[in-house]
Structure 1
Amino acid sequence: MTYNIAILGASGYTGAELIRLIAGHSSIEIKALGAFSKAGQAVAQVYPHLRHLDLPPMVAFDQIDWTGIDLCFCALPHKTSQEVISGLPRDLRIVDLSADFRLRDPEAYQKWYGNPHAAVEMQGEAVYGLTEFYRDEIAGARLVAGTGCNAATGQFALRPLIEAGVIDLDDIILDLKAAVSGAGRALKENLLHAELSEGYHAYATGGSHRHLGEFDQEFSKVAGREVRIQFQPHLIPANRGILGTAYVKAEAQAVLDTLASAYQDEPFIEVLPMGEVPSTRHVRGSNYCHIGVAADRLPGRTVVVAALDNLTKGSSGQALQNANLMLGINEVEGLMMAPLFP
């Protein structure tokens, strides 16, 4: 059986990544592509690397005929998603790649994103889209809220450890390096080549990064008590990839055993042997996440390193993984491609 899908926000990086992934999918066909400023253009004009594909043109949202569309990916900016999704057909299954439905508490959304929640009536039906931990809920959901790419990386490294109680919950530091595509495709002065290359810098210092809302929500939920981590992201001059390094108070073998047990049946999570740590080069362009564990020289301290591709496993690959579950398709369909190297 073939399912028809639409992508809103097809001209952005995550929209293009969805098109790339779905091109290799045997059971999904792209029937509509929605865009704002690029409406009226062919995909080949916007993304020449996709010119070999037979795709519909990008059109304004109000020109899309939703008849026969089984699922919609919304790869839109924050706040825009709430407004657009509120106007979509109520029987349409939706995977939202923005932050607009990730936080269950509307007050938390306003705190971290600076504006009131515009679709509170829909928030209750949204399922958090971290596939490996919400698989059953996602399969039966109408609306799935994809995680933040930074939030996914940190949770893959830390969530099983917090749930199992093998680390000190009051002493967790997450240091994260993120590639520039995570900031989106819109023109920004600080992302110009001359401004970004040949160095990297910390941003959202002092606990102001929006993905802390997800960490607070999810870590506190699995711990059964309030958990607040120290988190510092950095922007690196690379196109793709996230490397998250967590510093925890625990015995390294217990950490490795917990992660290996939690992910032993997961097709996209690879836990490395003790002492080996991953690189973003090892997961580039793939839906895989690699996790490494190393004992620190200080007794009772451990380092956990997680690497994933922010556009794939951190966003569009996760979205397709969730869509597969929602449509009753094999979860790994369209996602088993090997990473690109070098």
Structure 2
Amino acid sequence: MTKNIAILGASGYTGAELVRIIATHPDMRIAALTGDRKAGMAMAQVFPFLRHMDLPDLTRIEDVDFSGIDLAFCALPHATSQSVIKALPADLKVVDLSADFRLRDPAAYQKWYGKAHDAPELQKQAIYGLTEFYRDDIRSARLVAGTGCNAATGQFALRPLIEAGVIDLDQIILDLKCGVSGAGRSLKENLLHAELSEGAQPYAAGGTHRHLGEFDQEFSRAAGRPVQVQFTPHLIPMNRGILASAWVQGDAAAIHGVLSDRYADEVFIHVLPFGTLPSTHDVRGSNFVHIGVVADRVAGRASVFAVLDNLTKGSSGQAVQNANLMLGLDETAGLMFAPLFP
């Protein structure tokens, strides 16, 4: 039976990506779209690339009739989702794409986001949405918290290695190159074409990036003891994509073997032949992840590389993958489209 879907915050990049994915989903129908600042507008006005679709007009959240909605995607800004989700019907399934429910510890949320959580009871109920590692919990969840796109990429590269104990947990350096759409659709001076193009820059250096809260939480949980990686993201002039480069200490062949074994049955995660390097071009616009491992010239050191599309597998594609599980659908439904190339 077709499931009725609401997308709250459909006027942003992740909202538009959800519409793009669900457009060809065999078991989902978009029944409501919200965008408070653009309420009353057609999606074709906000996103002309969607003008071929028969979609409901954007409305305000309070005007949505949720009685016939099976699941809502919440693609709202950080610190907004918690109050909105708290006011939704208690039996409505929700996938949140913001950071509001990713951290289990209220003190950690306050540390990384600078304010007390507005819905601590819901925070306790939320399941972390890294699908390949929380699949069973997600199936029975009412609220799933989508991961940060940077956090997802780094975890796909490193989490199996931490769980298996094949790398030095105190010597992990993680470098990310991030496409500009990860910063959202709001106007920002540093994201203007003249400010961004023909250059690259690190940001949130020195351990200040908020996704470190997710790395600390998830890596420490996987290891059974505190793990703190050294992490710096870089903004580069491409629209979509993330390239994670991790430098670790351990046997490269063993590292490749652990990753290959862990992801052998995962449809969306592909570990490349040993020594093969991945490219963001090869996953653009898709729900796939490519991982490569290379031995260093110094014995006992290795490089692990992972690429994904931040708007798809890093956010909206992951959200649909989780929603499929929550609704009892085929996990891959609507997500097997090929990457865009060139």
Partner residue in 2 for 1:70: 70
Counterpart mapping for 1:228-239 below 5 A: 228-239=228-239
Quote how far apart the aligned CAs of 1:17 are: 0.1
Please give the TM-score of this superposition, normalised by the length of structure 1: 1.00
Q: Which AA in structure 2 matches 1:104?
A: R
1:86-114 CA distances to partner (integer Å, 9 max, x unpaired)?
10000000000000000000110010011
Q: Which AA in structure 1 matches 2:105?
A: D
Partner residue in 1 for 2:190: 190
| Whole-angstrom CA distance in 2 between matches of 1:271 and 1:36 | 42
Q: Which AA in structure 2 matches 1:237?
A: P
| Whole-angstrom CA distance in 1 between matches of 2:328 and 2:79 | 29
Quote how far apart the aligned CAs of 1:121 are: 1.2
Q: Does 1:51 align with 2:34?
A: no
Q: Which AA in structure 2 matches 1:160?
A: P
| Whole-angstrom CA distance in 2 between matches of 1:163 and 1:121 | 29
Counterpart mapping for 1:68-217 below 5 A: 68-217=68-217
| Whole-angstrom CA distance in 1 between matches of 2:150 and 2:308 | 10
Partner residue in 2 for 1:10: 10
Partner residue in 2 for 1:32: 32
Partner residue in 2 for 1:332: 332
| Whole-angstrom CA distance in 1 between matches of 2:34 and 2:216 | 33
| Whole-angstrom CA distance in 2 between matches of 1:320 and 1:47 | 20
Partner residue in 1 for 2:266: 266
Quote how far apart the aligned CAs of 1:300 are: 0.5
| Whole-angstrom CA distance in 1 between matches of 2:48 and 2:286 | 20
| Whole-angstrom CA distance in 2 between matches of 1:221 and 1:13 | 31
| Whole-angstrom CA distance in 2 between matches of 1:205 and 1:172 | 15
| Whole-angstrom CA distance in 2 between matches of 1:43 and 1:147 | 26
Quote how far apart the aligned CAs of 1:123 are: 1.0
1:30-50 CA distances to partner (integer Å, 9 max, x unpaired)?
000011211110000000101
Partner residue in 1 for 2:289: 289
Q: Which AA in structure 2 matches 1:159?
A: R
Percent identity for Structure 1 against Structure 2? 70
Q: Which AA in structure 1 matches 2:16?
A: A
| Whole-angstrom CA distance in 2 between matches of 1:240 and 1:37 | 25
Root-mean-square deviation (CA, aligned residues, Å) is: 0.4
Q: Runs in 1 of length 4+ with deviation above 3 angstroms?
A: none
| Whole-angstrom CA distance in 1 between matches of 2:209 and 2:124 | 24
| Whole-angstrom CA distance in 2 between matches of 1:298 and 1:181 | 37
1:11-45 CA distances to partner (integer Å, 9 max, x unpaired)?
00000000000001010000000112111100000
| Whole-angstrom CA distance in 1 between matches of 2:336 and 2:121 | 36
| Whole-angstrom CA distance in 2 between matches of 1:329 and 1:167 | 37
| Whole-angstrom CA distance in 2 between matches of 1:224 and 1:125 | 22
Q: Which runs of 5+ in 2 are unaligned?
A: none
SS state at 1:266 partner: coil
Q: Which AA in structure 2 matches 1:80?
A: T
SS state at 1:62 partner: helix
| Whole-angstrom CA distance in 2 between matches of 1:95 and 1:277 | 33
1:55-114 CA distances to partner (integer Å, 9 max, x unpaired)?
000001111111110000000000000010010000000000000000000110010011
Quote how far apart the aligned CAs of 1:302 are: 0.2
Partner residue in 2 for 1:221: 221
| Whole-angstrom CA distance in 1 between matches of 2:52 and 2:118 | 39
Quote how far apart the aligned CAs of 1:194 are: 0.4
| Whole-angstrom CA distance in 2 between matches of 1:36 and 1:159 | 38
1:247-268 CA distances to partner (integer Å, 9 max, x unpaired)?
0001110000000000000000
What is the number of residues matched between the two proteins? 342
1:178-211 CA distances to partner (integer Å, 9 max, x unpaired)?
0000000000000000000000100001000000
| Whole-angstrom CA distance in 1 between matches of 2:317 and 2:231 | 24
| Whole-angstrom CA distance in 2 between matches of 1:219 and 1:340 | 32
Q: Which runs of 5+ in 1 are unaligned?
A: none
Q: Which AA in structure 2 matches 1:195?
A: E
SS state at 2:68 partner: coil
